[in-house]
Amino acid sequence: MDTQSIPETMVEAVRTFADPEVAHDFFVGIRWPNKVACPLNCGSVAVTYMPKRRRWYCRDCKGQFTVKVGTIFEDSPIGFDKWLPAIWLVASNRNGVSSCEIARALNVTQKTAWFMLHRIREAMKNESFDAPLAGPVEADETYVGGKVRHGRPGRTGIKAKGPQAGKTVVMGILERKGKVRAFVVPSTRRTTLQEKVREHVEPGATLYTDALASYTGLREEYVHFVINHAVEYVRGHVHTNSIESFWSVFKRTIKGTYIAPRPQHLQRYVEEQVFRFNERENEDGPRFASALEGVEGKRLTYKALTAK
């Protein structure tokens, strides 16, 4: 990707993407910096451009395609003059951006903006990991959901706590001075949490957790330190403050921007926050470019998104 072609500020992005033709050509240059290649399982560069239809004809497989084919944009009637600013806004706002804000900013319906945002989150998702986290690593879990209260005659509601209140469990594993990985998990049972630790943390690494009993038994494979939050929050280098800081921003995003995401969609909201955290050292332009790199090879239809 030619980083010199990437806008550095929102003002530059608005000027660059305001013209639909310019925005279209911008993404063509990003996706195919050398030669346009047929994405219809052909890969041929023997293609002819039809400018009036903004599509190409492949002389090998005889198919026609647009630059949106094979990306999250496929079959979308929305132009790149709206798609690209939407990606910029999601990538650059630490606490996210709601579908209502996107709808007002881009002059689309809230339903369209909601669908666009989920497709952008699909692009931000990390499909595979290069290597396990080497440590030191912190592991922790949090609960996402509404404040369920049990009312009693003559008394105000009493707040219910824990997974029994119908909340969704999210587990996070963070490498200090590195990246974070987070997942929606079915429970906080030992088998569930330890399976994630073993999957994503290199054996022998230094691991920090709280005193949750589900982490008991990891000392056989890791240098495992435990901090009991009922007694203290920091003991020298033993703490989970780094992952707690990630949860703080994540919770602020969920409660302040997205309000009440459905459990079936929560993993995408998690992926969005993970993407921004892992790109935190980049400026807005490179972060936007990194999000664009993920659009190819992914597809999310409205039917799949809204399936019961």
pLDDT digits (tens, 9 = 90+) for 74-98: 999 999 999 999 999 999 999 999 9
Strands 137-144, 168-175: pairing is antiparallel
The rounded mean pLDDT for the chain is 90
Judge contact between 124 and 275, C-beta under 8 A. Answer: yes
Total-model pTM:
0.89
* C-alpha dihedral sign at 39, 44, 45, 51: negative
Rounded average pLDDT over 53-78: 94
Kindly tell me if the per-residue pLDDT of 138 is higher than 90.
yes
Considering only CA atoms, which of 150, 8, 94, 88 is closest in space to residue 291?
88
Rounded Cα–Cα distance for residues 38 and 233 (Å): 56
pLDDT for the residue 145: 83
Tokens of 119: 């497709």
Per-residue pLDDT averaged across 146-166, rounded?
Answer: 57
Domains of the chain and CATH, by start? 3-127+283-305 (no CATH), 137-264 (3.30.420)
pLDDT at 104 over 60: yes
pLDDT of 161 over the 80 cut? no
pLDDT at 257 over 60: yes
Torsion of CA 14, 17, 22, 25, to 10 degrees: 140
Q: What is the pLDDT of residue 3?
A: 46
CA dist., res. 255 & res. 230, Å (int): 26
Contact criterion met (CB below 8 Å) for 58 and 285: no
Among 63-72, 145-154, 185-194, 259-268, which is the least confidently predicted range? 145-154
Q: Tokens for 170, please give them.
A: 């999210």
pLDDT at 256 over 60: yes
